[in-house]
Structure 1
Amino acid sequence: MTTISRVETFLVAPRWLFVRVETDDGLVGWGEATCEGRSETVRTAVEQLSELLIGRDALRIEDHWQVMTKGSFYRGGPILASAVAGLDQALWDIAGKRYGAPVHQLLGGPVRDRIRVYGWVGGDEPSEVRDQIAARVEAGLTAVKMNASGRMSPLASVAELDAVVQRVAAAREVLGEHRDVAVDFHGRFTLANARRVAPLLEPYRPFFLEEPVVPENSHLIGEFVRSTTTPVSTGERLYNRQEFLPVLQAGIAVAQPDLSHAGGITEVRKIAALAETYDVQLAPHCPLGPIALAACLQVGFATPNYLIQEQSIGIHYNLGAEVLDYCVDQQPLTFVDGYVQRLTAPGLGIEIDEQAVRAADKRGHAWRSPTFRHLDGSYAEW
């Protein structure tokens, strides 16, 4: 039996929480339990959940997932789901190393040889959008994602609406007809604003429109889907199959679970299968670190309805460390012609620089989400 002997957590810059699980026979698995702005709370949850794992067989991954998610009267939510996700990724990493195979082989084997990736671009002005997209194209990407706006009024002005259209138009001008731009509403729009702006963006053929309403208003997303011909995506703040079911039934085209929030590899695999029955593609949310990215890719190589993968190399959040800084070998997570090639090393397919992680944990971080305010001083969605 491969027995779990130790669980550790590391709070590392820029805003990530890594999980290290060790077995009595010397295997080490890594996971990422980052919950942006709440990682210290998740760290405590990981410590509590480790009580259920120490002394038990590391290879009973499904059973551990069941106990961690259901072994308490109060269940669910981003804190618990993120803690479970980090531990689950680490257990799959151990399983792959134990059997000498990448995780996607344990999930049924590869269905593709490479995965397309996209990167986030910012800039409130059209000229900034042009510059940042041009830089991403120069770096080899064939797809980008941009915020539709900054702070939005509950009922947007003509100037606010026009600014959204101008930024997307600038993006399309740089990208041409053979590259893609996804537009992220980021939950900043009311349903009324989202329905109003979506038809104005259709001439620019967005790849998809993301999170048009906040997740607690998922019951409204069907209204938005019916207001546009553009594919609609959501899911970074949905944490299990049950929460995805209503938005799948409402007609979204792209599901975006986050492998560090939605229960890890074990649950996202099941979300993908559920999405497939609705003819919905998977494009996991991942503006996070190398472990989360590797976990996403492992699922992607074994999942038929996998569309594209977000990655955060060079994103504006990454202050103090970059995605590849914690990798011994950066080559597996580099992209060529807008794709990442199939990972072949055992487990998650990357080697974490443990010395760098331990040093970074001593410095720690205290990343928090920004707070937006409307002109009248009331809270605005970030």
Structure 2
Amino acid sequence: MINVETFLVAPRWMFVKVSTDDGVHGWGEGGLEGSADVTAAAVTALAEQLVGEDPTRIEDHWQRLTKGGFYRGGPERSSAIAALDQALWDIAGRRLGVPVHELLGGPVRERVRVYGWIGGDSPGDVAAAAAAQREAGMTAVKMNATAQFPPLPSARDVAEVADRARQVRAALGDDRDFAVDFHGRVSAAAAPRLIEAVEPFDPLFIEEPVVPEQNHTNLRRLVESTSRPIATGERLFSRSDFLPVLQAGVRVVQPDLSHAGGISEVRRIATLADTFGAVLAPHCPLGPLALASCLQVDFATPNFLIQEQSLGIHYNRTGELLDYLANPEVFTFVDGHVARPTGPGLGVEIDEGAVRKAHERGMHWRTPIWNHPDGSFAEW
């Protein structure tokens, strides 16, 4: 291994390129949204352990990168390791001329179901957006339940959430699915009322009803309060993080391949989930390398459910999913599904010139800071 480079690119992504002394290179993505520059610095620091080493020793590198420091963990470090891990798997597949899922035991399906986003951060026009996704051939969508939300909602607040779910169900019909993302924006006191309000419209799952730091105190109660599956996991980064939420009864796990230790760790998280009868639905409102990595795991994972993807998402105002690809056809969606990629490694070819130009222009995306009407902090 001779070189590791990081690239900050619009709209809010961080790519990593790992080059080897035999001319083979691999790409990964690990830009923790809002802290991509911090994650890039972590990649640079961690890469010191890889220089001069055999890139095919992926598991050995993962163990050393995650456990080699006295102080361990954290989203920035885990995201940096995820990017490097993806790049090493990409190199392994390219050297052998096979897609990564062949190295994970081979495919268990020939196509993967995907969903798109509607409504934005402050959801609006959801009926029209859902109808447009249906017309485009998508079989599932996801939307935020609400924008910033009071700790104890009024009857109108709850009714507005329910009405959005009603509109989407009417626009999609009963042969399509939608999921509702609470995004950790609602309080533990409000969550049961909102879950009850959207239940009649049969969402595929209800996501992140409380912030992760409340999982240990509130999640089991919420799981037991509803017949709809509860999903969570985009802000969990390891098997040890997922164990208590699985024990609490969550049945849809959503690790992010660019945050939760990469392909190596998410593969293990999926296996852990399977022992609880839970299914995998990887979080991925990110770029092409993140999605490519997700798909490699999806095609080799028996307990996979559905895959998030960012084409047309409200964050992609200054860059789109396909902008940095030389082979964008790999992400062609037909009837709400994507076919099994057959190219080597992650299965995508990066337009390196476009990436370098975007990096020169720079990217400085930060997490929005929201306030309640009284001026106090509100969860985004």
Q: TM-score range by the shorter chain?
A: over 0.9
Would you say the 8 A contact 1:134–1:174 is kept in 2?
Answer: yes
- Which residue type is aligned with residue 175 of structure 1? L
- Give, in whole Å, the separation in 2 of the partners of 1:368 and 1:125: 17
On the 8 A contact 1:182/1:206 being kept in 2, the answer is yes
For residues 265-315 of structure 1, the C-alpha deviation after alignment (integer angstroms, 9 at most, x for no partner) is 000000000000000000000000000000000000000000000000011
Equivalent position of 2:49 in the other structure? 52
TM superposition shift of 1:127: 6.8
Q: How big is the shift at 1:126?
A: 8.3
2:360 to 359, 362, 368: 362
Runs of 4+ in 1 over 2 A off after TM superposition: 123-127
2:157 to 157, 160, 176: 160
Query: The residue matched to 1:52 in structure 2 has which SS?
Result: coil
Q: Secondary structure in 1 aligned to 2:186?
A: coil
Contact (CA 8 Å) 2:78, 2:259: kept in 1 or not? Answer: yes
Aligned to 1:242: 240
State the Cα distance separating 1:374 from its structure 2 match: 1.1
State the distance in 1 between where 2:10 and 2:120 align.
23
Q: What's the counterpart of residue 373 of structure 2?
A: 375
Give TM-score, length-normalised by structure 1: 0.98
Q: How does 1:62-73 map to 2 (within 5 A)?
A: 62-73=59-70
Map 1:79-118 → 2, pairs under 5 A: 79-118=76-115
CA contact (8 A) 2:122 2:144 kept: no
Whole-angstrom CA distance in 2 between matches of 1:290 and 1:316: 16
**Shift in alpha-carbon separation, 1:41–1:123, aligned structure 2, 3 A:** closer
Counterpart CA distance in 1 for 2:158 and 2:144 is: 13
**Which residue of 1 is the match for residue 39 of structure 2?**
42
For the 8 Å contact 1:126–1:170, the answer to whether it is kept is no
Matches within 5 A, 1:150-229: 150-219=147-216, 220-229=218-227
Distance 1:69 1:254 in 2: 25
Query: Match of 1:203, as an amino acid?
Result: P
Q: Which runs of 5+ in 2 are unaligned?
A: none
Equivalent of 1:288 in 283, 286, 289: 286
Q: Does 1:13 align with 2:3?
A: no
Q: Distance in 2 between matches of 1:55 and 1:24?
A: 9
- Where 2:132 maps in the other structure, the secondary structure is helix
Q: Distance in 1 between matches of 2:123 and 2:59?
A: 48
Moved more, 256-265 or 117-126: 117-126
Secondary structure at 1:86 match in 2? helix
Compared CA separation, residues 125 and 321, structure 1 to 2 (3 A): closer
Provide the rounded CA distance (Å) in 1 between the counterparts of 2:124 and 2:267: 40
Flag structure 1 segments of 5+ consecutive residues without an equivalent.
none
Secondary structure in structure 1 of the residue aligned to 2:304:
coil
Mapping 1:250-289, distance limit 5 Å: 250-289=248-287
Does 2:348 match 1:350?
yes
* Deviation at residue 124 of structure 1 after TM alignment: 8.2
Deviations 1:75-118 (A, max 9, x none): 01100000000000000000000111000000000000000000
Q: Call closer, same or farther: CA 1:330–1:194 in 2, change over 3 Å.
A: same
Aligned length: 379
2:129 paired with 1:132: yes
TM-score normalised to structure 2 length: 0.98
Indicate how the Cα distance of structure 1 residues 125 and 87 shifts in structure 2: closer, same or farther if over 3 A, else same.
Answer: closer
Mapped contact 2:5–2:17 kept (Cα < 8 A): yes
Work out whether residues 332 and 338 of structure 2, in 8 Å CA contact, stay in contact via their aligned partners in 1.
yes
Is 1:320 matched up with 2:318?
yes
Task: Give the aligned residue type for 2:92.
Answer: A
Q: What percent of counterpart residues are identical?
A: 61
Match of residue 145 from structure 2: 148
In structure 1, the partner of 2:25 is 28
**C-alpha distance in 2, partners of 1:127/1:81?**
34
Question: 2: CA distance between counterparts of 1:68 and 1:11?
Answer: 22
Secondary structure of the 2:343 match is: coil
Q: Quick check: 1:125–1:167 contact (8 Å CA) kept in 2?
A: no
Query: For the residues of structure 1 that align with 2:199 and 2:375, how far apart are their CA atoms?
Result: 33
Q: Does the C-alpha gap of structure 1 residues 271 and 173 become closer, same or farther in structure 2, counting only changes over 3 Å? A: same
Q: Which amino acid aligns with 1:117?
A: V
How many angstroms apart in 2 are the aligned matches of 1:334 and 1:216?
37
Give the alignment's Cα RMSD to 1 decimal: 1.0
Shift of 1:370: 1.1
CA offset digits 1:313-351 (Å, max 9, x no partner): 011101221101101011111110000000000000010
